[in-house]
Structure 1
Amino acid sequence: MVVRLSRHRLLALLCGALAALTLATPVAAAPERAGVSRPEAAAGWLARQLVDGERFEVVFDGVAYPDQGLTLDAVFAFAAAGVADDYGADALAWVTRPDVRDGYVGDGVTEAYAGATAKLALAVEVRGGDPTDVGGVDLVARLRSLESPGGRFTDRSAFGDFSNAFSQSFAILALDRTAQGAPPAAASWLAGTRCPDGGYPLLPAQPVCTSDVDATALAVQALRAADRPADAAAGLRWLVSVQGADGGFANTAGTPNANSTGLAAQALRDGHRPLAWARARAFLAGLQVGCAGAPAHRGAVDFDGGTFDPSTAPRATAQAVLGLTGTGYARLSAAGAAPGAPVPACP
């Protein structure tokens, strides 16, 4: 007798096989065996890396500088994993402190950065706050003031314009949550940057349009939120076409890594590409440090599976959590998240 399996049944079997393979991996197995999910273990490790429990810093020439962008990545990761809510609250409180905030988004007069403004506004929304009153600053109004007639969001700065596909995508995602919604011209402009192969470039108007994994992952989420499914679908097809045999993603012909794979995996699940997402999730799980690793590293996600690098692990872990859960930025919410930083219960 020939047994015919439905497409859904085949999908379930494949996902189950991938999960079983991942759980059999010695390094990555511990978090789930201990009753703490991989995203929870990763978010717990990330929370414990925050300086004074509130921020990330970058050290240059021996001097520590605030890293607001990575701190916001952690806020998103905590919301996606549904844990470390107290850390998320403290981290956002730090970023929105006037001196820290203005050093990131600009003072709004001589300096105003579209990408930073949009990312902070989205983080405030994810945590249930009001982006029109962030310490007396209306981030939504400021962001809208940075939109050109053609729909592109650009920086206002004496130092130049650093806006890119991330700036545009975060602006659309943040404004989509407001009562007025995202400007149609902004989505049209982003869709118009698409490369002939279907992906999206980091920087527009280059002599050669080169699709970028990270930029495409953000762009397709923004385009889906802005009701541009056909434009998003082209980007999703390109992402699937460049996925490695191991399930990972590499940017600009580099090494498959947690950062690019995390963002791509998030976009794939949000864009209803479950098979590709399952493969990317298995790749991310294989980079997670479990009970076989050093106690201080357990739960972290390594950048590329080489020698564990504490300097790159926080960003890799933050973006990996997004891919492990697959919750898109448009649906991300900290509502109901539990406090505390989960720790794998290793023997």
Structure 2
Amino acid sequence: MSDRLRLFAAGAASLVLVAVGASACGSDSPESGTDPVPANAPAASTGASDPRALELAADWLVGNLNADGLLENTSAYEGKTATSVDVGSSIDLVLGLSASGLLAQEATAVTDAVAEGLPAYVGSGGEVYSGASAKALRLAVDQGRDPHDFGGLDLQARVEDRVATKSRIAGRLQDRSEFGDYANSIGQSYAAAALSAVGSERAESVTDFLLAQQCEEGFFRLAFAAKGAAEQGCDADDSLPAEQAPDTTALVAVQLAPLAEDDEQVQDALTAATKWLLAQQADDGSFADPENGTNSNTTGLAGWALLELGEDDAAARAAGWVRDLQVAQEGDGSGEESLGKLAGETGALAYDEASLAEGREYGLADPLDRSPWVVAGVQAFPVLAAAPAAGESE
């Protein structure tokens, strides 16, 4: 395995932690009267789509669950490797399956497994990781579980308790942790979606604070301004430049999309986000992350968001680009030899072209090789719902 892939594997866990706003010490590398949120099936494309790529990707990801029913992440640091349960990616998998309308039984089993080990993910003792708690609440509501009793925790109350009420920062999520406050816009978006779904009195302020993180250009910043700053919007803190990452804006848009019908402010925000995302798309359909370049995770997330936002053609172009990084489908004429050591990994999504080439040469037997494919794939695969059918233009 190349050093480049090992470095990506080492960084993947921290990226997931940031994505849910959990503390750096978190374990994740990111039946009630309450009506569950219906699965947000992607909007139908105007052209014919091919479900095989989506189904194969989902099957491959589910095939990576461990004996306890969760995904794992293996990273390397200072010559040592460590494997940990990846609850954040496991939740991503379930939300993606739900949005895609696939493998409902498997999604239920993963949800059960997440509930079993929930305290370690959302914080135990005096620790409360607000982003992780919000993401877990989003999962519980999506899967029709009791938000007041999921994994033995009252997740709704837990998230509501971490919503600031002081006027200057009203609605802001905030961690309670000896390691600092890592709350950010992605965790805030899970809270906005979940609290709105359960009719929480805190939903409006949480959504309003999230909308304030949208910059004039249309993208959403990831990090919040310091709690002591006089202003809390996008341009509030000149010392903390707003990162223009399609990943953040796409994740926020996917969570806000169900709220748009009943909220004009959300509609306006999503219109601006749509225009910004469309402007970031390359001619070949791909999207690039400022730090990691063009990749399947960023492209998949942006394409999924555009599909939810009704931009079917742009989503189809993103899906076509992601599908080109998928291990060949069986019977497509490529033959086992062209797959190299990726034979038997049908449906897997490579992070980028270099990863695909290295996978053919080295295979994915080493967990350090496999982890980047899983971490990238769980958020990228829903875009494949828009993958054009064979013979259709992208």
For this structure pair, what is the TM-score category when the shorter chain's length is used for normalisation?
Answer: 0.7 to 0.9
SS at match of 1:148: coil
1:332 aligned partner? none
Structure 1 residue runs of 5 or longer lacking an equivalent are: 1-10, 20-31, 327-347
2:36 aligned partner? none
The structural deviation recorded for 1:181 is 6.7
Q: Distance in 2 between matches of 1:224 and 1:311?
A: 30
Q: Would the aligned equivalents of 1:73 and 1:315 in 2 still touch at CA under 8 Å?
A: no
Q: Would the aligned equivalents of 2:183 and 2:224 in 1 still touch at CA under 8 Å?
A: no
Deviations 1:84-109 (A, max 9, x none): 33332222222111xx21110012x5
Matched, 1:96 2:144: no
1:338 aligned partner? none
Matched, 1:211 2:230: no
Query: Which residues of 2 match residues 1-347 of structure 1 at below 5 A?
Result: 12=46, 15=47, 37-52=52-67, 54-60=69-75, 61-97=80-116, 100-107=117-124, 109-149=125-165, 150-180=170-200, 183-205=203-225, 206-207=237-238, 208-226=241-259, 227=263, 228-252=266-290, 254-290=292-328, 291=330, 292=334, 293=339, 294-306=342-354, 307=357, 308=359, 309-325=369-385
Deviations 1:308-335 (A, max 9, x none): 3522111222112222236xxxxxxxxx
Q: Which amino acid aligns with 2:179?
A: F
The structural deviation recorded for 1:264 is 0.9
Distance 1:259 1:137, change over 3 A: same
Q: Would the aligned equivalents of 1:125 and 1:131 in 2 still touch at CA under 8 Å?
A: yes
Which is further off, 162-171 or 215-224? Answer: 215-224
**Higher RCO (CA < 8 A, seq sep 6+):** 1
Q: What is the number of residues matched between the two proteins? A: 294
Distance 1:101 1:198, change over 3 A: same
Q: Would the aligned equivalents of 1:249 and 1:256 in 2 still touch at CA under 8 Å?
A: yes
1:334 aligned partner? none
Over aligned residues, Cα RMSD in angstroms? Answer: 2.1
SS at match of 2:294: coil
Q: Distance in 2 between matches of 1:182 and 1:42?
A: 37
Q: Would the aligned equivalents of 1:255 and 1:304 in 2 still touch at CA under 8 Å?
A: no
Deviations 1:56-105 (A, max 9, x none): 222343332221111111222332343333332222222111xx211100
SS at match of 1:49: coil
Q: Which amino acid aligns with 2:212?
A: G
Q: Would the aligned equivalents of 1:44 and 1:83 in 2 still touch at CA under 8 Å?
A: no
Deviations 1:137-157 (A, max 9, x none): 110111011101211111111
Q: Distance in 1 between matches of 2:68 and 2:52?
A: 22
Q: Would the aligned equivalents of 2:349 and 2:377 in 1 still touch at CA under 8 Å?
A: yes
SS at match of 2:353: coil
The structural deviation recorded for 1:175 is 1.3
SS at match of 2:288: coil
The structural deviation recorded for 1:209 is 2.4
Distance 1:103 1:219, change over 3 A: same
Q: Which amino acid aligns with 1:263?
A: L
SS at match of 1:144: helix
Q: Would the aligned equivalents of 2:72 and 2:371 in 1 still touch at CA under 8 Å?
A: no
SS at match of 1:298: coil
Identity %: 31
Q: Which amino acid aligns with 1:140?
A: Q
1:330 aligned partner? none
SS at match of 1:63: strand
- TM-score, with length taken from structure 2: 0.70
SS at match of 1:289: coil
The structural deviation recorded for 1:186 is 1.4
Q: Distance in 1 between matches of 2:199 and 2:215?
A: 32
- TM-score, with length taken from structure 1: 0.79
SS at match of 1:297: coil
Distance 1:300 1:250, change over 3 A: same
